[in-house]
Structure formats: structure tokens, C-alpha cells
Chains A and B, each alone.
Chain A
Amino acid sequence: MDTAKRYRGGMILIEALLILGGLVFLVPFYFLIVNSLKSFGEILTDSAGWPNVFQWGNYAEAWKKTSFPKAFGNSLLVTVASNLLLVLMCSMAAYRMARKPTRYNRFLYAAFVAAMVIPFQAIMIPLVKVSSLLGIMNSIWGLVICYLGFGAPLTVFMLHGFVKSVPLDIEEAGRVDGCTAYGTFFRIILPLMQPIAVTVIILNTLWIWNDYLMPSLILQKPELFTIPIETFAFFGQYTKQWNLALPALVLGITPVVIFFLAMQKYIIEGIAQGSVKG
């Protein structure tokens, strides 16, 4: 009885401390949102309090000056296109490599695994040169191509591990029923891959959506800017003009926060899964 009581008391303490910690974690968001609705003068005189008058105009101006719909559209296009193509292309490659371990395929797989340790900064300088030779500079699709190349190693690696765990019997049953190699892949293997594909898509989405460096090197025309580069350019122009910079930041983080809150079950499962595989 006594120990049970102590145990409960301990739990309440832990819970209270965690909630306190959680509030501390959220303080930056409080400052960000509250101040994004203040006038410039008010931010300087009182940045902790609630706004006297809500300055919704800040948002209208930031929305216009960052051409938010355009940046959002670019980010969305790049993220969705890269994700779909990466998963399709890499699941095909992973399937073939896992099922037909010829000398060539084993070499290629080893190269993919080895390339996972290459940091982007180690190849970014020559990549600029290669991209301009390929004529993919200043193009959204060019950026997608870069993500396909740089994302392929990890994506293939994760999918490859999954294919190996799929029993061969399932495929052979399909073969006997007259499936071609393509039919086997698209009708049998690809549907089975769904859980790992979700994990891969989530990891790649968090990476591609938030990536700054790659698009900043490939895209120089403002009309092609994604959210991170647009924000960077905007912030450079309006440094210390917090009444414009803060609403721009709120706009910038809103899509990904909504995505997270809507998908958090999958995201959290996906990360736990992905780490086991990695």
C-alpha cells in the first residue's frame, strides 16, 4: 500500500516535470507567433507580452513579399515529384538487386551503400559544374533529378533490406500463375512494400522539404525558389525588420507543421521503423 502510494506520487512528479519541460520546448513558438502579430515598435518595447492590437497586416505583407503561394507550390512540386519517382525507381532497383545478385548488381549495391557516407558538402562543388553541363541548372525538374541521384543510395538500401525479407514462395506462386517479371513486381512485390515505402517517403519528405543547400545551388531565379531559399533571401533583405521576418517564418513552418500533426502517427512509426532498418 505504502509503496503504491509512493509510486503514484513519483509519477505525478515526473508528469509535472515533463509538462514543464514541454512548455519550455514550446516557448520559442510562443515568442514567434505572438511577435509576428505586433507592430515593429511593440516588438522592441515588449516582446514577451500579448499583442496590444493584432497586426494581421504583417501577414498580408509577408505573404505578398515572399510570394508565398509560389514558393509553396515550388516546394510542393519538388517534394512530391522527387518522392514518387524515388520510391518507384529505387524499389525497382532494390528488387532486382536483391533477387538477381549478379556480380554487376552486387558491385552496384556496394557502391550505393558506400555512397551513403558521402556528405552532400563533399560533392556540392563539382555538382554545380556537372549540373550546368547537363543543362539542369535553374529548373525545378533539374532539382528533382538531383534529389533522385542523391537520395537513391539510402532509399535503395532501406528497400533492399525489405525485399530480402519477402519470401520467394510468394513470387513463385505468381510466376506459376503466369505473371511476367514486371507483373510480379508491380502486382505482388510493390503492394507488399507499402509499409516500408511510407517510412522512406516520410524520411525523404522531411529531408527534401526542408533542404536549403541543394536548391540554393541549383535554383537562382527567384520565381523558382522553394520555401527555404525564399525565406533565406527574404531574411537577408529584411534583417531586423522582425514585423515582416517573423510572419514570413510562421508561414514558412506552417505547411510542415500541419503535415506533421496530420501524419504524426505514421511519421513516428516510420522513424522508429527506419532506424531499426538503418
Chain B
Amino acid sequence: MTRRKTSQQIQQLVFVGPSTIFFVLIVAVPFFLGLYYAFTDWNGISRQVDGVGLRNFAHIFTKDPAFLNSFWFTAKFTVLGVLLTNVVGFLLAYFLTKRLYTRNVMRTVFFMPHVIGGLLLGFIWQFIFVRGFASIGGATGWSFFNLPWLGTEATSFWAIVIVFVWQNAGYLMVIYISAINNVPKSLIEAAKVDGAGRGQVLRSVIIPLVMPAVTVCLFLALSWSFKLFDLNLSLTKGGPFKSTESVALNIYNEAFNISRFGMGSAKAIIFFVIVALISILQVRATKSREVEM
């Protein structure tokens, strides 16, 4: 009996041990350490770490307009990012599930930007906005392309939105395609026999049946846009005048550029709480609207 027990314990250790150790070291310990640092004035180097109570949080909410701005920017960006990637992704999927000659090639084309990381994409688009758009503008005379895209606050905001949609719509398209393909053909046929038009089939049959995919896609887009970092760093660096600084970038700058690790940790905690809350609410809200098959 005891031999069996030790063998079970060894198995537990062998199977679960490694992931537990790495998870604890890399995720759990830093997470709780961060909770502690959030209440200190640690600068990242000094051995001296003094507790400051809630002062970091008070400072963030009362004396740090840059952080509040970054929140406002991220919120606006998230709304547009989630909406546009999903609309574009869904429309592409809807049309690319029809019997088209170039269907497979087009899927590949629309998906491709997603495989390139945000950092490199940001640099590529920096060139497009600075030189490419200017030359299109010069050739066509369309003022849209002659705007100083990365030079003003409003246009840089839209620049990030455009690249974000370009990068991620294809990914959501893939998920929507598989969801639309899973809608039973018989249901669509039945609806058509009953006299439903194409719009009605889309509204009353397809959309309700792909709600689980909508949950997934909203959730993905939400978490991508709220955690916007790489693209932000390489495309605008938060500029001009910090107007396009995302929360993640603000936290990064706080900690690694001006070495206020304590303050950065406090911001990171706020960031985490909001991300966690949104994730939970979002999953709850859409789960209840799914149609059971």
C-alpha cells in the first residue's frame, strides 16, 4: 500500500512538477512580488525598498495625466479595434465561404499579415505612412494620402487603428469561416424554402448560430487591443506628444525608461485588474447569448 502511494507521489511529481515549477517561478512569484512593489518606491536597482502605502495609487489617479491619457487612448482604441476587426473579419469570412474561384488564395492573402509580428509590422507601416502614402498622394492627388499621418494626434490614432485591423482581421476571418462552415446547410436551405432572402438568412440563421465564434473573436480582439504594445512601440512610440501611448507602453516607460519600478508596478496592478474584469464580463455576457444546437 505504501509502495503504491510513493509511486503515485512520484508520478505526480514527474507529470505535474515541471510545469508547476516554471509557472510558479515565472508567473506566480512575479505576480505577487508585483503586488508588493506596487506599495513601495523601489527604483529597480537600489537595495533600499521603502513602503509608501497607497501613495503610488494616489499619485497615479491625481497627478499623472499621462497615465490617464494612455487609458483614454487605449479605451478609444479598443472600442474601434474590436469593432472594426470583427466587422471586417466577419464580412471577409461571409464572402469567402461562397463558392468563389479565388477563395483559397484570398484567404491566404487576408491572413498573411497576422503571421508577422507587431513590431516588424509597425516599422513596415512607418515607411508606408511616411513615404508610401506620400507617393500615392502625389500620383493621385487624393488629400487622404497627403495627410501627415504620423505627425498629428488624430491621424496617428487612426494610423494605429488601420494597421491593427490590417494585421488582425484575417485571423478573426479564419475563426468566422470555420463557424460559418459549421452552420448546417439544411437549415439555410429550409430558411430559403420558407422564403427568407439572403439578408434574412444571414440575420436569422447564420449570425445566431455563429455566436460562439463571436464570443471568441470579441474576446481575442479585446485582449489584443487592450494589450497593444509592439505595434505601438514601433509605429508611433506613443507620439506625437504621448497622444498615442497605450497603457502597456506607459507602464513600460515608467519602469524601464524612468526607473520607477514601484510606480510601474502599481500601474501594472491597475492594468491587470481591468483586463481581468473585462475578460470575465465579456465571456459572461456573450455566453448567455449563444444558441444551443
A interface residue numbers (CB < 8 A to B):
11, 14-15, 18-19, 21-22, 25-28, 31-32, 35, 43-44, 46-48, 89-90, 92-93, 95-97, 100, 104-105, 108, 111-112, 115, 117-130, 134, 145-146, 148-150, 152-153, 156, 181-182, 185, 206, 209-213, 217, 228, 231-232, 235, 242, 245-246, 249, 252-253, 256-257, 259-261, 264, 267-268, 271-272, 275-276, 278
Contacts and interface: CB of A to CB of B under 8 A. Distances in A.
A228 B120 contact: yes
Given A28-B128, A210-B119, A253-B120, A48 B16 contact: no
Interface stretch (B24-32, B59-67, B79-87, B149-157): B24-32
B175 interface: yes
Contacts of B117: 209-212, 228, 256
B99 A275 contact: no
A11 B99 CA distance: 8
Contacts, number: 267
Interface stretch (B105-113, B183-191, B284-292): B105-113
Contact of A257 (B116, B132, B171, B265): B116
A118 B233 contact: no
Interface residues of B, number: 93
A217 B105 CA distance: 38
B120 A32 contact: no
B164 interface: no
B100 A231 contact: no
A27 B127 CA distance: 12
B213 A275 contact: yes
A90 B18 CA distance: 8
Contact of A148 (B26, B124, B127, B268): B26
23 contacts: A11-B99, A25-B112, A28-B125, A31-B131, A47-B134, A96-B12, A115-B28, A119-B223, A121-B271, A122-B271, A124-B252, A124-B255, A125-B255, A153-B27, A210-B115, A211-B117, A212-B119, A228-B120, A231-B119, A231-B123, A249-B120, A276-B216, A278-B216
B25 A149 contact: yes
Contacts of B29: 126, 130
A181 to B, nearest CB: 5
Contacts of A93: 15-16, 18-20
B193 interface: no
